[in-house]
Amino acid sequence: MIKVLIAEDDGAKASIIKAELIRQGVEEDNITIADSGVATRACLRDGCFSLLLLDLALPNRTRDNPNPEVGLEILRLIVDDHEYPSPISILGTTADNETLESYHDQFLELVTQILLITPIDNEWKTSIRNVIARLSQPDHLSKNHGVDVCYITALREPELAAVLKLPISWGSEISLGNGILVQQGTALISGTKRTFICAHSPHMGLVSASFMTRVLWEKYRPKVIFMTGICGGLGDAELGDLVVAERSWDWQSGKWLQDGTFSSSPDQKEATPELIALARGTVGDAEQFWRHSENRPSSKPRIHVAPMVSGSAVVENSELHARFFAQHRKAIAVDMECFGVYFSASMSSNPAPKFICIKSISDLANRDKSDNYQKFCSELSAYVSFKIVERLNLN
């Protein structure tokens, strides 16, 4: 799917460009027109585009005079500062020979080509056709990542709140129009500005988590998806321990037989091996966070790289633990979302994301639940996940 942003304040010129794009096979619903610098920056911030056609002389606001410096600043924010997701191709456009002559060299330092758009000239149409043909090739579509890291949580408090405390400069909350609220942010990591999004599920459970993961992937194309927060512990797990879910499945998937027994049929999905390997090396980070926390469990956290079972029901019956162990003897935790995220992420076509769920045990999945450590556990899982981001090669 090719998405195009036309940054153009001249309505007639924008219509000509749009008509040519449609003639070349771009769907009309995938073409966005922004008539100012402010509108262009908003579109870049909220969407992921394959192609940007940027007018050389664009007003900053709708009623301002056109100014080439506006377009140059937008390009610097994309190319140099990585403030916005970069389209695969960026072309300059103009109908003014004088502007083209004056700013040709400056723009060509930041764009691949400048098109002189006139109603009677066909050269620019040929260039458009060639770019669209190139963007239609699978090898280019597969590289169209939008943001670096996506954080997904099940709860707004305390899980999303813990993510928002990370050393990331977060923007204001925006609505995607389907019950999902998203915040975007940036952080400087090893001298490179990295882009982030975060959101919490509008409802509890596997279906909601899977739906949200799909929506965020389609809109932002993240390179990496983290799910952080809290979970229930199984076996020898203790409060405050960290679980790296190397695989997950729906423990309720299967068939009830006539004799009243349940025959399970789990469909296990595995996290990205690279992320699992990096998570194994965060023992020191987890201990450091524990040492500097006030309201914390008495024992320092252990890291369990083990299966996490998921289901659509809250588990308060410890008798169910035997069923979990029957499905996988090394199961260490249970939640209501992990498998939904893994299923949706694993089914994503190019650009496929890396993904992992890292949660901390705030209860032992029985009747004796406690909210005492939910804040600590949420912040611990978010903190460790960010340490992984700092060590991850996102290029």
Nearest to 15 by CA among 4, 24, 6, 25: 6
For 120, half-sphere exposure in the C-beta direction (CA atoms, 13 angstrom radius) is: 0
Whether residues 136 and 153 fall in one domain: no
Would you state the structure tokens that stand for residue 43, as one six-digit string? Answer: 């579109």
Contact (Cβ atoms closer than 8 angstroms) between residue 107 and residue 56: yes
pLDDT for res 359: 97
pLDDT for res 38: 95
Residue 2 reports pLDDT greater than 50: yes
Whether residues 108 and 157 fall in one domain: no
Mean pLDDT over residues 12-17, rounded? Answer: 93
Residue 305 reports pLDDT greater than 70: yes
Nearest to 152 by CA among 198, 184, 195, 191: 198
Whether residues 180 and 114 fall in one domain: no
CA dist 59 to 25, 106, 111, 381, Å?
29, 18, 19, 45
pLDDT for res 113: 80
Nearest to 297 by CA among 380, 218, 355, 225: 380
Residue 73 reports pLDDT greater than 50: yes
Tens-place pLDDT, residues 165-182:
999 999 988 888 777 899
The C-alpha atoms of residue 221 and residue 144 are separated, in whole angstroms, by: 7
Q: What is the mean pLDDT of the chain?
A: 87
Whether residues 29 and 133 fall in one domain: yes
Q: What is the CATH number of the domain that holds 249?
A: 3.40.50.1580
pLDDT for res 272: 95
pLDDT for res 142: 47
Residue 112 reports pLDDT greater than 70: no
Which domain-ending residue is among 141, 170, 205?
A: 141
Residue 308 reports pLDDT greater than 50: yes
Q: At what angle do helices 273-280 and 374-391 cross, to 10 degrees?
A: 110
Contacts of 395 (CB under 8 A, 6+ apart): none
Of residues 38 and 326, more confidence is placed in 38
3 state SS for 321-384? HHHHHHHCCCCCEEECCHHHHHHHHHCCCCCCCEEEEEEEEEECCCCCCCCCCHHHHHHHHHHH
Q: What is the dihedral of CA 327, 331, 336, 337, to 10 degrees?
A: -100
Whether residues 216 and 365 fall in one domain: yes
Whether residues 208 and 350 fall in one domain: yes
Which domain-ending residue is among 96, 123, 141?
A: 141
Whether residues 106 and 168 fall in one domain: no
> Residue-wise over 257-295: b if at least 16 C-beta within 10 A, else e?
eeeeeeeeebeebbbbeebbebbeebeebbeebbeebee
pLDDT for res 226: 98
Q: What angle do CA 86, 88, 91 make, to 5 degrees?
A: 90
Whether residues 120 and 202 fall in one domain: no
> Which domain range does residue 109 map to?
4-141
Residue 280 reports pLDDT greater than 90: yes
The C-alpha atoms of residue 239 and residue 233 are separated, in whole angstroms, by: 8
Helix (H, G, I), strand (E, B) or coil at 35: coil
Whether residues 257 and 112 fall in one domain: no
Tens-place pLDDT, residues 147-166:
999 999 999 999 999 999 99
Residue 72 reports pLDDT greater than 60: yes
- 105: phi then psi, degrees, rounded to nearest 5: -70, -40
Domain count, the chain: 2
Whether residues 31 and 168 fall in one domain: no
Residue 138 reports pLDDT greater than 70: no
pLDDT for res 105: 79
* Total Cβ atoms within 10 A of residue 227: 31
Q: What is the CATH number of the domain that holds 93?
A: 3.40.50.2300
Residue 318 reports pLDDT greater than 70: no
Of residues 83 and 211, more confidence is placed in 211
pLDDT for res 292: 94
pLDDT for res 51: 92
Whether residues 167 and 294 fall in one domain: yes
DSSP state of 170: E
CA dist 101 to 54, 96, 117, 344, Å?
16, 9, 14, 50
Whether residues 83 and 167 fall in one domain: no
Q: Is the dihedral of CA 285, 201, 354, 163 positive or negative?
A: negative
The C-alpha atoms of residue 231 and residue 337 are separated, in whole angstroms, by: 10
Which domain-ending residue is among 118, 141, 164?
A: 141
pTM of the model: 0.65
Residue 39 reports pLDDT greater than 60: yes
The C-alpha atoms of residue 149 and residue 198 are separated, in whole angstroms, by: 8
Residue 227 reports pLDDT greater than 80: yes
